[in-house]
C-alpha cells in the first residue's frame, strides 16, 4: 500500500504538485493519469525517494520514504520514465546489479533471470551492452531488473512505452497476477484504453492537483455510458 499524505513540490515558483492526497491499496492495480506536465513523474520521483518532498509525507507499506529511505526502498521496484540507464552495462550485468541491491540469492536470481528473459524474448541479447539495445529492448531489461527482485510494490512510470504488443500483453498479465497475490501495482499511462482495461483504481491529476481518486466502477457510475477517454477529457476540462 502507498499512502500519499498532503504532498507538495515546487520547482522555483512553479508548483508541480499541490497538496495531493490519495492511497494506492494493496491487491489492486491503480492507474495514474493526467495530461503532459500534470505532475505524474514528479509524484513518482517523490514516492521513490529520487526527489525530496517539500510538504507532506509518503508511506510505502507504512514506511516513510523521507525518514527511512533505505527500508522504504526495499518495499518497491521501479520502472522509471526513461530506460536509458547504465548503458555501458550488459543487460545481465544491470539485472544482477539490481538483484545485488535487493540481496537476491544467486540461484533464485538465475532462475528468475532465465524465466523473465525467456518471457520477454531477450535471452539471446542478455550479454550485449544496453547501449546497443533498441528503446523497447532497454525497456524490457529495466522491467526485468525491477521484477527479478520480486518487490511487494511495483511503481511503473509509463511502462508499456516502446514495448511490442506481445511484451505489453505479458507485462499486463504480470501486473494482474502481482495484484491478485495481494501486492500493490501503481503505474502512470497516457494510454487510456490500457487504464480502462487494467485498473481497479484510477487517480487523475491535472496541474498538480488530484481531480479524481477512486475505483474505476465509481468513476463510471458518476459518468454513465462514457468511455474513460471521454470522462478524462471532461474531468480535465472542468479542473
Ligand atoms: N526538474 C524540474 N525543474 C523545473 N520544473 C520541473 C522539473 N521537473 C518537472 N518540472 C515541472 O513540473 C511540472 C510537472 O512535471 P512532471 O514531469 O511531473 O509531469 P508529468 O505529468 O509526468 O508529464 P508527462 O506526461 O509529460 O511526462 C511541469 O510543469 C514541469 O515543467
As a whole number of angstroms, the distance between CA 236 and CA 206 comes to 7
- β-pairing, 184-188 vs 28-33, is parallel
Instruction: Give the closest residue (by CA) to ligand 1 atom 29.
Output: 37
190 and 233 together in one domain:
yes
Whose grid coordinates read 520547482?
Answer: 11
Do the beta carbons of residue 122 and residue 140 sit within 8 Å? yes
Q: What count of other Cβ atoms lies within 10 Å of the Cβ of residue 193?
A: 11
Longest dimension (CA), the chain: 54
- Could you tell me if residue 118 is inside a domain? yes
Q: What pLDDT is stored for residue 124 in this prediction?
A: 97
User: What is the spatial distance between Cα 161 and Cα 142, in angstroms, rounded to a whole number?
Assistant: 12
Last residue of a domain, one of 126, 151, 176: 151
Minimum CA distance residue for ligand 1 atom 8: 42
- Residue at 171 is within a domain: yes
- Please give the pLDDT value at position 238: 79
* 158, 66: one domain: yes
* Final residue before a domain boundary, out of 151, 172, 203: 151
The answer to whether residue 80 sits within a structural domain is no
CB burial class (10 A; 0-12, 13-18, 19+) of residue 56?
Answer: middle
The radius of gyration of the chain's CA atoms, rounded to the nearest angstrom, is 18
Residue labelled with grid coordinates 536509458: 84
Among 28, 78, 32, 30, CA closest to 51: 78
User: Residue with C-alpha cell 504480470?
Assistant: 174
pLDDT in tens, the chain (239 residues): 999 999 999 999 999 999 999 999 999 999 999 999 999 999 999 999 999 999 999 999 999 999 999 999 999 999 998 888 899 999 999 999 999 999 999 999 999 999 999 999 999 999 999 999 999 999 999 999 999 999 999 999 999 999 999 999 999 999 999 999 999 999 999 999 999 999 999 999 999 999 999 999 999 999 998 999 999 999 898 77
3-state secondary structure of 117: helix
10 Å CB burial of residue 19 (0-12, 13-18, 19+) is middle
Give the atom of ligand 1 at the shortest distance from the alpha carbon of 208.
Answer: 14
Residue with cell 502512470: 188
- Ligand 1 centre to CA of 208 (Å) is 9
Residue-level pLDDT at 130 = 97
Q: Which residues of 109-136 are buried (b: 16+ CB within 10 A; e: fewer)?
A: beebbeebbebbebeebbeeebeebeeb
Domain that includes residue 122, residue range: 86-151
Could you say which DSSP state residue 237 is in? H
Ligand 1: residue whose CA is nearest its atom 16: 39
The answer to the question of residue 222 being in a domain is: yes
Q: How confident is the model at residue 150, as a pLDDT? A: 93
State the residue for C-alpha cell 495484484.
Answer: 179
Residue 177: Cβ within 10 Å count: 11
Return the bridge partners of 237, or none: none
Provide the pLDDT for residue 237: 87
Q: Within 6 Å (CB) of ligand 1, which residues are found?
A: 11, 14, 16, 34, 36-42
According to the model, what pLDDT value does residue 85 have? 85
Q: Which of 151, 181, 207 is the last residue of a domain?
A: 151
The C-alpha angle 183, 186, 189, rounded to 5 degrees, equals: 150
- For the record, the C-alpha cell of 19 comes out as 497538496
What whole-number distance in Å separates Cα of residue 142 and Cα of residue 136? 10
Amino acid at each position: 500500500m502507498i499512502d500519499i499524505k498532503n504532498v507538495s513540490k515546487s520547482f522555483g515558483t512553479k508548483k508541480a504538485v499541490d497538496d495531493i492526497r490519495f492511497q494506492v491499496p494493496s491487491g489492486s492495480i491503480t492507474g495514474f493519469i493526467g495530461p503532459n506536465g500534470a505532475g505524474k513523474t514528479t509524484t513518482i520521483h517523490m514516492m521513490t525517494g529520487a526527489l525530496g518532498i517539500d510538504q507532506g509525507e509518503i508511506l510505502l507499506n507504512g514506511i516513510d520514504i523521507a525518514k527511512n529511505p533505505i527500508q522504504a526502498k526495499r518495499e518497491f521496484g521501479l520502472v522509471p520514465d526513461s530506460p536509458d540507464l547504465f548503458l555501458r552495462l550488459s543487460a545481465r550485468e544491470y539485472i544482477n546489479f539490481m538483484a545485488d541491491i535487493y540481496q537476491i540469492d544467486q540461484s533464485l536470481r538465475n532462475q528468475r533471470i532465465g524465466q523473465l528473459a525467456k518471457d520477454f524474448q531477450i535471452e539471446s541479447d542478455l550479454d550485449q551492452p544496453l547501449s546497443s539495445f533498441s528503446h523497447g529492448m532497454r525497456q524490457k531489461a529495466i522491467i526485468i531488473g525491477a521484477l527479478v527482485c520480486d518487490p511487494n510494490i511495483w511503481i511503473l512510470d509509463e511502462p508499456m512505452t516502446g514495448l511490442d504488443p506481445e511484451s505489453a500483453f505479458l507485462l499486463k498479465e504480470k501486473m494482474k497476477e502481482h495484484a491478485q497475490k495481494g501486492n500493490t501495482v501503481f503505474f502512470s499511462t497516457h494510454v487510456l484504453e490500457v487504464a480502462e482495461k487494467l485498473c481497479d483504481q484510477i487517480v487523475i491529476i491535472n496541474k498538480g492537483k488530484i481531480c479524481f481518486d477512486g475505483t474505476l466502477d465509481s468513476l463510471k457510475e458518476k459518468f454513465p455510458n462514457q468511455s474513460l477517454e471521454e470522462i478524462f477529457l471532461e474531468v480535465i476540462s472542468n479542473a
